Amino acid sequence: MLAFWQQQLVNISREAQVVDLGTGNGALALAAYRYLAAEKRDAKVHGIDAAAINPCAVFADEASIVGDLRQIQFHPECSIEAMPFKPGSVDILLSQFALEYAEREPAVAACARVLAPKGRLVAVMHHQASDIAYDCAAGIKVIAAFLYGSNFQQDANKLLSLATSAATAAALNLANQQLLQSVNAIGQQLRNALEQEWFSFIMQSFAPLFIDIDASHQIQFDELVAELIASYQRLTDAHQAALI
């Protein structure tokens, strides 16, 4: 991907204005800035994102990255449709898995408005027939099984609670068996290698919490569940945004 994006910048003018759409933590904007700096061009790189991004804070412990990020002008809480650039002022718009999340027609119209006469919009986008889309679908299915399609949460919480109380060995064994049954029920729903990979990834996170259980494991379990919910939403958004 890095080679692809560098190739898009080969022929732009020395004082071009470059904008990364949906920049997130600034990875693509940073790659563009570093390439242009190495080529000794005075191009100005911008990164916009609808979220309240702060790339310098994310990489605060990495001085070399922060130093370069400070050379990029970031525009947090800025949608593609509301780009703050003059008409015809942008030489190239870059988008890596971002443009498809915008309101399609207004976003494309905004891109056309800010692009110079020979400017270009280069976008890498999710597609429903892509490997990424298939992986998203697998992740959605497996996470949904853990969160909503089984007794996993209920049985896990019961075991964690009993393990930190004065429960008998028999009660603990029964709770453990119930949790194993819930996990096995999820495993029986798997239909392909991608789903199996997601299942293994999730279980690698949860499994250590059910060994030598102490009070902190309940907190960790709740945090992992919250992360799963966030991942489910992120994957769902990506899958819905994929082009047909």
Q: Which whole-number Å values give the CA distances from 68 to 29, 95, 147, in the listed order?
A: 10, 20, 41
- List pLDDT tens digits, range 133-177: 899 999 999 999 999 999 999 999 999 999 999 899 999 999 999
Which position has the higher pLDDT, 198 or 42?
A: 198
Question: How confident is the model at residue 39, as a pLDDT?
Answer: 93
CB 232 within 8 A of CB 144: yes
State the pairing for strand pair 73-75/90-96: unpaired
State the pairing for strand pair 90-96/115-124: parallel
CB 183 within 8 A of CB 152: yes
Question: How confident is the model at residue 104, as a pLDDT?
Answer: 86
Alpha carbon 177 to its chain centroid, in Å, reads 35
Which runs of E-coded beta strand occur in 22-114? 44-48, 73-75, 90-96
Question: How confident is the model at residue 188, as a pLDDT?
Answer: 95
CB atoms within 10 A of CB 92: 23
Please name the helix (run of DSSP H) or strand (run of DSSP E) that holds residue 158, with its range, or none. helix 152-163
CA 103 to CA 100: how far, in whole Å? 8
CB neighbour class for 4 (10 Å; exposed up to 12, middle 13-18, buried from 19): exposed
Please name the helix (run of DSSP H) or strand (run of DSSP E) that holds residue 115, with its range, or none. strand 115-124
What sign for the dihedral angle of Cα 132, 230, 146, 200? positive
- First CA to last CA distance, the chain: 22
Confidence (pTM): 0.71
Question: How confident is the model at residue 242, as a pLDDT?
Answer: 79
What confidence tier does 128 reach under pLDDT thresholds 50, 70, 90?
confident
- List pLDDT tens digits, range 60-78: 999 999 999 999 999 999 9
CA 138 to CA 15: how far, in whole Å? 44
